[in-house]
Amino acid sequence: MDLTGLLAFNVLVGVGTLALITVGLGVIYGMMKIINLAHGEFMMLGAYATYVSTSAGLNIWIAMLVVAPLFVGLVGLVIERTIIRFLYGRMIDTMLATWGLSLGLIGLTTSIFGNDPRGVSTPLHSFAIGRFDASLYGIVIIVVAVAALVGLFAMLRGTRFGLIVRATMQNPNMAAALGVAPPMIYMATFALGAALAGLAGGVLVPISGVSPVMGAAFIAKAFITVLGGGAAIVTGTALASTLFGIINELVSFKSTPVIGEVALLLAAVVMIRVLPQGITGRFLKRSL
């Protein structure tokens, strides 16, 4: 029974982690149709923002929950204004541009911080599940992931800004005819997606560490989850994260984490073969 409780907790943490690393890409790729190959590097910037802030004496909660998303959101805003805004509607070009951007960000951070991995201490200790110990920080990851998804859903569904964003992404010409400035909406949406990636990087840095190449560990999972979720970015991300997170954690528990990663990739291949439009492309088509 104790082992079952520990396994259930690890599954929830795995699902939360997957949702957290995916939600930012869901906004930029799922909504804006920009193939952002620099998503992992946005997470890396959030992790470094947390590391630098805490090293300077800032409270770790403020560093990971406020500084990291704000810093990466501002970086995303600058990148959208200087690079991405010239490439809307050209998916292959955005893919190449963000690939080059990811290489540039890796090179820049390597020049500044070097190749040595850095770390941030976990701010919480462990708690007991029967005769086993589990990290209390896992609960923080679950709570932040749920808050990010619920907050994004509430913003898109219940606010005027969310309505304008959805309308602009569906038909920018019609939105412009109604007085909306699509360039500003695109800029704000890209910055929002970057900020969510920065939040993910900041929250995960106590368990993942930080290095210039850490983004490579997240980018494939993020794209797989977005594709598996389908067109509805919030519902799709939640469903795909739950499915892939359960498969990954259960297989990892029975074998090794490497085999768990392989099982996740195989599950994604099968899903895309069976449901090429993702889960919400076949079911829950009217969800957000």
Q: What is the 3-state secondary structure (H, E, C) of 185-231?
A: HHHHHHHHHHHHHHHHHHHHHHHHCECCCCCHHHHHHHHHHHHHHCC
Q: Determine the Cα–Cα distance for residues 210 and 130; give it in Å rounded to an integer.
A: 32
User: Quick one: pLDDT at residue 277?
Assistant: 85
User: Quick one: pLDDT at residue 231?
Assistant: 82
Q: Are 153 and 27 in contact (CB under 8 A)?
A: no
- Summarize the confidence of residues 49-66 as an average pLDDT: 94
Q: Determine the Cα–Cα distance for residues 140 and 183; give it in Å rounded to an integer.
A: 35
**Residue type at 111?**
S
Q: Are 24 and 75 in contact (CB under 8 A)?
A: no
Compute the Cα dihedral for 41, 46, 48, 49 and give only its sign.
positive
In a 3-state reduction of DSSP, which class is residue 130?
Answer: coil
Q: Are 32 and 190 in contact (CB under 8 A)?
A: yes
What would the two tokens of residue 148 be? Answer: 């990010």
DSSP state of 50: H
pLDDT tens per residue, range 107-165 = 999 999 988 888 888 888 888 888 888 889 999 999 999 999 999 999 999 999 999 99
More confident residue, 68 or 128: 68
User: Quick one: pLDDT at residue 122?
Assistant: 87
Q: What is the pTM of this model?
A: 0.93
More confident residue, 178 or 144: 144
Q: What proportion of the chain, given as a percentage, has pLDDT over 90?
A: 58
In a 3-state reduction of DSSP, which class is residue 272?
Answer: helix
